[in-house]
């Protein structure tokens, strides 16, 4: 069956991940909780969740993926019944095996929605783990795993950004409402690899002007979204084992060659140590990137202005809390675009 392409050869992937998660340090984070007794199935919260983590299934709002819940609570204001609350607690790094093992109690439709969600956001590793668990535990299920895999394999995301009609597909035989309303989900985690696009020149005059100034228009080297440190999810697949670039907001505007010389081959998180609030969350997220995502290196790029020094301090505080140690490189950028410092911390 083609759906089995998502399965890891050897039937050991979900066991390996479970053991790895046991060895990592818990992190404190916010996550929503839905009271199924209070939920009336109105679906207003689905449109309020920009991450697409909520869906209306079998007449109830369901958090189909803790991985995509940022805990900001945009959905709470949409709920007329007060059925949604935020819980702040110590939590293990995201564990797909644990998640899906509990989720099967809610039925086949919820499992299908969850796996489709992982597929939509290109979380291939978690998708493989979920499918692996289903196949290994078929005797415990009250539905056929093959039916779930068939639905997931043939699923195609409705649109690139998730905008559009919020009405359910009338042709579907499964009552699953896909998240398509509430505007463009700008904070939804997504990976797009090295598919940056070079903007074409609009005319001969504009295309020759950069050459005259000895400049070359290059493609974007950004491989994922979002990038703001408050919005990123450390458990997203693109961060795993990556080289992280932690850059101050102003850096990219000061360096004309930022993408090609500094961002290429790295994942990105940006922050402003002077203007951003709730910096404790920054420390927690970088700690999770070190321990859970197991980034290989961290490159801190800050501006020369004194207030920007806090970015390196945040990285150091996270390193002190983390159980792993990774090398940190510091690059200090001058306000005119020159590199003033390049050293390992």
d(CA 304, CA 8): 47
pLDDT at 172 over 60: no
pLDDT at 235 over 50: yes
Max mean pLDDT among 74-83, 204-213, 304-313 falls in 304-313
pLDDT at 250: 95
Q: What is the mean pLDDT of residues 27-32?
A: 75
pLDDT at 279: 85
Look up the pTM and report it: 0.60
Q: Please provide the DSSP assignment of 271-331 as one string.
A: E-TTT-S-HHHHHHHHHHHHHTS--SEEEEEEESSGGGGHHHHHHHHHHHH-SS---EEEE
pLDDT at 277 over 80: yes
Q: Do domains 2-164 and 221-344 have the same CATH topology?
A: no
Region for 162 from its dihedrals, namely left if φ exceeds 0, alpha if ψ lies in -120 to 50, beta otherwise: left
Mention the CATH class of domain 221-344.
alpha beta
Name the β-bridge partners of 302.
332
Domain ranges in the chain?
Answer: 2-164, 221-344
pLDDT at 119: 85
* Better-predicted residue by pLDDT, 237 or 214: 237
SS (H, E, C) 90-141: EECCCCHHHHHHHHHHHCHHHHHHHHHHHHHCCCHHHHHHHHHHHHHCHHHC
Is the domain defined by 2-164 classed in CATH 3.40.50.410?
Answer: no
Q: How confident is the model at residue 202 (pLDDT cuts 50, 70, 90)?
A: very low
* Better-predicted residue by pLDDT, 168 or 123: 123
pLDDT at 197 over 60: no
């Amino acid at each position: 069956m083609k759906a089995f392409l998502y399965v890891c050869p050897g039937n050991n992937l979900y066991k390996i991940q479970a053991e790895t998660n046991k060895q990592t340090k818990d992190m404190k984070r916010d996550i929503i909780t839905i009271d199924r007794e209070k939920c009336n199935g109105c679906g207003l919260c689905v449109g309020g969740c920009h991450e697409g983590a909520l869906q209306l299934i079998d007449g109830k709002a369901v958090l189909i993926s803790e991985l995509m819940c940022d805990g900001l609570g945009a959905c709470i204001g949409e709920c007329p019944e007060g059925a949604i609350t935020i819980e702040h607690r110590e939590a293990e790094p995201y564990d797909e095996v644990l998640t899906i093992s509990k989720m099967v109690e809610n039925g086949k439709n919820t499992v299908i929605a969850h796996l489709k969600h992982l597929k939509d956001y290109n979380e291939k590793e978690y998708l493989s783990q979920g499918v692996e668990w289903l196949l290994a535990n078929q005797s415990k299920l009250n539905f056929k795993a093959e039916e779930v895999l068939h639905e997931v394999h043939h699923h195609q995301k409705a649109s690139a950004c998730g905008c559009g009609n919020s009405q359910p597909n009338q042709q579907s035989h499964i009552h699953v409402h896909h998240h398509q309303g509430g505007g463009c989900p700008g904070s939804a985690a997504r990976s797009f690899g090295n598919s940056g696009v070079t903007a074409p020149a609009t005319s001969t005059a504009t295309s020759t002007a950069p050459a005259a100034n000895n400049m070359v228009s290059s493609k974007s080297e950004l491989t994922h979204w979002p990038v703001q440190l408050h919005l990123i999810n450390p458990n997203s697949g693109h961060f795993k084992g990556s080289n992280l670039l932690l850059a101050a907001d102003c850096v990219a505007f000061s360096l004309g060659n930022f993408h090609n010389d500094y961002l290429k081959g790295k994942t990105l998180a940006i922050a402003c140590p002077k203007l951003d609030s709730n910096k404790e969350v920054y420390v927690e997220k970088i700690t999770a990137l070190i321990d859970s995502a197991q980034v290989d290196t961290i490159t801190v790029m800050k501006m020369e202005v004194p207030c920007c020094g806090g970015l390196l301090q945040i990285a150091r505080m996270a390193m002190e809390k983390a159980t792993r140690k990774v090398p940190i490189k510091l690059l200090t950028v001058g306000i005119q675009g020159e590199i003033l410092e390049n050293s390992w911390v």
